[in-house]
Chains A and B, each alone.
Chain A
Amino acid sequence: MKNRLKILRAERNWSQADLADRLEVSRQTVNAIETGKYDPSLPLAFRIGRLFEQPIETIFDDEAA
C-alpha cells in the first residue's frame, strides 16, 4: 500500500524519530511504513490521520498496491 507519510513528515520538518515518538512506535516501524514494507494496523493508521489532521484515505492509497 502506498502512502504519503514521508511527504507529510518532510513538510513538518520531522525526522523519522520525531514521528515515531509522536506515534509511540519505533523508528523502524515509521521507516517500514514509509518504504511500503509494512501496512500499519487500523489503530495506528487512525493515530497517523489524527496527527496530520487528515482522513486516512488521503494518506494511504490501497488502490496503488
Chain B
Amino acid sequence: MNAASEAPRRNASRLVLGGLGLLFGGGLGYLVGRLIKTGVIDASRLGWSDNLAVVIAACLIAMGLIIGLASFSRKAVGRMIDRTGAQLATPAQASFYREQAVVMFLAGILMAAPVVTTASFEAIPMVVASIIMLAILAIFLIQTVYNLTVWHRSDELIRRVTSETGAVCFWVLQGLLFLWAAAEKLGLAPPLTAWDIMTVLMGTYLVVASIMSARRGLS
C-alpha cells in the first residue's frame, strides 16, 4: 500500500474515532447536565481535583470502551497495530488489546466512583461510604490482575515505554511535590489533599505515557 492510499484510510480512522469520542462526550455531558439540573448531583461540592478526576475518568472510560469494542474486530485491531491495516490481527493480539481496554475502563470507574459519591450526598453515610470503598477495593484488585496480565503479555518495547513513563513521572512529580511541600510549609501555598495529589499524578501519567508512546512509534 502506498502513502497516497494510506492517507485517506488514516483520515477515515481518525474521523471514526473522533466521532465516537464526540458521541461519548456528548452523551456523558448531557447525562451529567441532567443529573445536576435535577439535583441528583451537586457540582458545587466538587473541587478542582474532582473536576479533573472526572475528565480523566471520562477519557479512560471512553478509551476503554472504544478499544474494547474495536478489539472484537481483528481488522480494527490490525489497524491499531499498523495504521495501513494491511494485516488482520491475531486472536492473541486482539485479546491483548481487550485486556488493555479493561484496565483503562476499570481505572476510569475507580477515579469516578469517589467523586460521584461525594457529589451525590451532602454528608456521605458511613454505610454508603463503606460499600463504595469495598466496591473500589474489589475493582482495584481485578484491575491489578489485568494490569499484571498486560505486563506479563507485553513485549520489551511496551515494557520499556511503561518503565520510562514511570521514571519520568517520578522525577517530575517528586520535584514538583517537594517544591509544593516546601511552599506549603512556609505558608506560601495552600495544602493539598491525597486526592489532589493522586489526580495530578494520574493526569501527568497519562500525558507522559502518550508522549513516550509517540516517541517509540506506538501511537
* A54 located at the interface, meaning its Cβ lies under 8 Å from any Cβ of chain B in the complex: no
Which of B155, B157, B158, B218 has its CB near the most chain A CB atoms (within 10 A)?
B157
Bound form: Cα–Cα A27–B158 in Å: 11
B156 in contact with A41 (CB, 8 Å): yes
A: interface residue count bin: 10 to 19
Bound form: Cα–Cα A32–B82 in Å: 11
A29 in contact with B87 (CB, 8 Å): no
Bound form: Cα–Cα A27–B92 in Å: 13
Bound form: Cα–Cα A16–B81 in Å: 11
A26 in contact with B87 (CB, 8 Å): no
The smallest C-beta distance from A46 to any residue of chain B, in angstroms, reads 13
* B34 located at the interface, meaning its Cβ lies under 8 Å from any Cβ of chain A in the complex: no
* B217 located at the interface, meaning its Cβ lies under 8 Å from any Cβ of chain A in the complex: yes
* A17 located at the interface, meaning its Cβ lies under 8 Å from any Cβ of chain B in the complex: yes
B157 in contact with A32 (CB, 8 Å): yes
Closest to A37 in B: B217
Give the chain B neighbours of A41 by CB distance below 8 A.
156
* B9 located at the interface, meaning its Cβ lies under 8 Å from any Cβ of chain A in the complex: no
* A44 located at the interface, meaning its Cβ lies under 8 Å from any Cβ of chain B in the complex: yes
Bound form: Cα–Cα A22–B160 in Å: 21
The smallest C-beta distance from B78 to any residue of chain A, in angstroms, reads 9
Closest to B161 in A: A38
B216 in contact with A32 (CB, 8 Å): yes
Bound form: Cα–Cα A29–B217 in Å: 9
B82 in contact with A25 (CB, 8 Å): no
B81 in contact with A32 (CB, 8 Å): no
Give the chain A neighbours of B216 by CB distance below 8 A.
32, 37-38
Closest to A30 in B: B157
B87 in contact with A38 (CB, 8 Å): no
Bound form: Cα–Cα A27–B86 in Å: 12
Residues of B within 8 A of A (CB): 81-82, 86-87, 93, 155-158, 160, 215-218
The 8 A-B residue pairs with the shortest CB-CB distance in the complex, in nearest-first order = A29-B157, A25-B155, A37-B217, A32-B217, A26-B155, A37-B216, A27-B81, A32-B216
Known contacts A25-B156, A26-B158, A28-B81; 10 further A-B pairs (Cβ under 8 A):
A15-B86, A25-B157, A26-B93, A26-B155, A26-B157, A28-B157, A31-B217, A32-B157, A37-B216, A38-B160
Residues of A within 8 A of B (CB): 15-17, 24-29, 31-32, 35, 37-38, 40-41, 44
